[in-house]
Amino acid sequence: MAIRNIREIGDKVLTKVSKEVKEVDNKLLVLIDDMLDTLYNADGVGLAAPQVGILKRVVVIDVSEEGDEPIILINPEIIESSGSQVGNEGCLSVPGKVGTVERPNYVKVKAYDVNMKEFIVEGHELLARALCHEIDHLNGVLYVEKAIDGIRSIYDIEEQEDN
């Protein structure tokens, strides 16, 4: 297991559509382990394979309380969404920045686990936002393209919260 370099805005790999995973092999399992290590090392909520330079449709998300299992999604696809939420969103590939993004308040996602067994995950609020954000990465889309009012420094947000 290793911590991989997180690609940042401007890197062309972040603008490309990821390829569907056909089978889970040892190489993919190592990638998933590395993605989890990288996610936790960066104190993130989610990480998509393109963010570590791999154009595969793989996502890891952990919005849970400590001790809960992270969500590992292979070939995720949003099959249902409803409601709306507007809030600040950041990204490990856009360090130190945030933007206001509108996302569904609820999403239902079909994906495959590491055994290529199909499953459904439903997310509300933060999990819904994370699912949409990470699936966008698989399609070559960064949140900055959806930001309602552009992007700004995370330090500006912290100052407003302190006042």
- DSSP symbol at 5: P
Active site residue 134: yes
Length in residues, the chain: 163
Provide long-range contacts, Cβ within 8 A and 24+ apart, for 31-35.
31/56, 31/58, 32/58, 32/60, 32/72, 32/114, 33/1, 34/1, 34/2, 34/3, 34/4, 35/4, 35/60
Distance CA 102, CA 119 (A): 26
Catalytic residue from among 65, 69, 125, 134? 134
Catalytic residues: 134
